[in-house]
Amino acid sequence: MSEEKITEQSLQIQEEYTDMLKDILLIRAGGKQPKAMVRTYGCQQNVADSEKIKGMLEKMDCGLTENPEEADIIIFNTCAVREHAEDRVFGNVGALKAYKRKKPSLLIGLCGCMMEQQHIADRIRKSFPYVGLVFGTHAIHKFPELLYHSVTTGKRTIERGNDDGKIYEGLPIHRDGSFKGWLSIMYGCDNFCTYCIVPHVRGRERSRKHSVILNEAKSMIAAGYKEITLLGQNVNSYGKGLEEKTNFASLLRDTANIEGDFWLRFMTSHPKDASKEMIDIMAENSKICNHLHLPFQCGSDRVLKRMNRRYTVEKYLEIANYAKSKIPDLSLTSDVIVGFPGETYEDFQQTLELIKEVEFTSLFTFIYSPRVGTPAAQFDDPYSHREKAEWMGELLKVQEKIAAKRCAGMVGKQYRVLVEEQAKEGVLNARTQNNIVVELKAPAEYIGTFQNVEITEARNWILRGQIV
């Protein structure tokens, strides 16, 4: 039987569980509409997964809530990328105990990347007996069955680590936003950077079909979405392993060519695979935002090698400079790790040099966090957290100056923006194509629309503008 048939069949089974759950959850909630709260930690990939979990809950006739007091089901979708992320989850799960005591029928479930680690599952088993359901990233499509098992037996249900490498298309989805939406184009990661847990918890890289992605994009645009972000851990290797011959550049071109007034973003690009072809397509098509998130992690070749990143600073600069030369007003942004095991102050200075040379619009900066089971966790790590934090302080000062200069250079110019949200009373936040936030004085009806603005003021890296 073909793989598609198998996934179709197993989703049909899930629909049957979904139907059975409608009555069961209603009765458990005392005849009122049951309410579910889904809280997401971590990256956009998790946000996209939570949208599927919410979609499945809605099919069970559950309402969604942000308020744990009124919830009958609470699901935390967790992130394992750094220790801090895991600590937050443990702290917040601990706080759920009080809700469970008040409402014994409350079903508490944990899912996502943390749950794919044995030591975490063990800790939950031992220390959090009131957690009734645990499932990993590979079991999302089975959520109805697992929930059914948990509520009907009253026993703790744990499902993890069964990556069958399949892609389950056709899951229901509840999108959080009405004009900005996420679109996963691939799952997993094969790169095994030595510091990173993601390949261990998300499994091997696999791409969705070109036509399936295009159809989803078309239906989002038809539903009024103004911005779509294509998602993957390494979008540049999109298409590997598919029968059809395709790659990220052609997917990007075909998506941008869909009719309609919308913007297209994508993340994350890996410098080792980012192609000039992709950059040419960005340059040719005005719907593809002039923003490239291209994580460099470290400015020292010696450290990059030990990170298993498989590019050099020279190669990084070549692709970054090519992008800058081709795409007008491009924003380059990046991720940086400070204090990788064995990184010296001299290595770190090379990171600062790279930042000064490229002049990133903004940076996501992280102090290295050891992850159980990754090679780097075994490397010698002679510098203290305090020293690393001092280096980080130095880096942030350098970046602040660069960002302030960039923002100051925008004053007096006009940009098209997508108005996103209310910042405070009478003030809205909008975003330029190159991913810079502009504060506007405008009524809330403008949220979700494109506007042309003139930048009137730059305060450090906060821009103010007015609609023209």
From 63, 177, 199, 342, residue interacting with ligand SF4 (rule: CB under 6 A): 199
Minimal CB distance residue for ligand F3S: 42
Is 306 an interacting residue with respect to ligand SAH (CB under 6 A)?
Answer: no
Q: Whole-number minimum distance, CB 279 to ligand F3S, in Å?
A: 25
Instruction: Report 101-140 residues binding ligand F3S (CB under 6 A).
Output: 113
> Is residue 268 reached through a cis peptide bond, with omega within 30 degrees of 0 on the bond before it?
yes
- 371 interacts with, out of ligand SF4, ligand F3S, ligand SAH, none, CB within 5 to 8 A per kind: ligand SAH
Instruction: Work out which of 54, 100, 270, 291 binds ligand SAH, going by CB under 6 A.
Output: 270
Nearest one of 33, 60, 54, 34 to 174, comparing CA atoms: 54
**How long a stretch of residues is the chain?**
468
Among 7, 18, 42, 451, binds ligand F3S (CB under 6 A): 42
Instruction: State the angle between helix axes of 313-326 and 345-358 in degrees (0 to 180), rounded to the nearest 10.
Output: 10
Residues 201-260 within binding reach of ligand SF4 (CB under 6 A) = 233-234
**Contacts (CB under 6 A) with ligand SF4, residues 256-315:** 270
**What's the CA gap between 62 and 81, in Å, rounded?**
30
Distance, in Å, from the CA atom of 143 to the CA atom of 121, rounded to the nearest integer, reads 17
Q: 141-168 burial string, b = 16+ CB within 10 Å, else e?
A: bbbbbbbbbbbeeeebbbbbbebeeebb
Candidate list 53, 57, 79, 288; residue touching ligand F3S; CB under 6 A:
79
Interface with ligand SAH, residue 366, by CB under 6 A = yes
Looking up tokens 């994009």 gives 217
Q: Cβ 225 to ligand SF4, closest distance in Å?
A: 26
Buried b (16+ CB within 10 A) or exposed e, 295-327: bbbbbbbebbebbebebebebbbebbebbbeeb
For residues 15 and 295, give the distance between their C-alpha atoms in angstroms, rounded to a whole number.
Answer: 40
Local structure of 407: helix, strand or coil: helix
Instruction: Check binding of 451 to ligand SAH (CB under 6 A).
Output: no
For residues 280, 283, 286, 289, the Cα torsion angle rounded to the nearest 10 degrees is 100
Q: Tokens in use for 466?
A: 């007015």
Query: Which residues ranging from 156 to 185 are in contact with ligand SAH (CB under 6 A)?
Result: none
Q: Is 231 helix (H, G, I), strand (E, B) or coil?
A: strand
Q: What is the size of the binding site for ligand F3S (CB under 6 A)?
A: 12
**Segment interacting with ligand SAH (CB under 6 A) among 12-20, 164-172, 195-203, 247-255:** 195-203
Part of the chain binding ligand SF4 (CB under 6 A), chosen from 188-196, 374-382, 401-409, 440-448: 188-196
Q: Any contact of residue 111 with ligand SAH (CB under 6 A)?
A: no
Q: Would you say 435 and 407 are in contact if contact means Cβ atoms under 8 Å apart?
A: no
Interaction of residue 371 with ligand F3S, rule CB under 6 A: no
Q: Which stretch binds ligand SAH (CB under 6 A): 89-97, 194-202, 241-249, 437-445?
A: 194-202
Residues 44 to 83: which contact ligand SAH by CB under 6 A? 81-82
Residue 113 contacts ligand SF4 per CB under 6 A:
no
Q: Residue numbers of the site for ligand SAH (CB under 6 A)?
A: 81-82, 195-196, 198, 233-234, 268, 270, 295, 297, 335, 337, 366, 368-369, 371
Q: Residue numbers of the site for ligand F3S (CB under 6 A)?
A: 42-43, 45-46, 79-81, 113, 197-198, 201-202
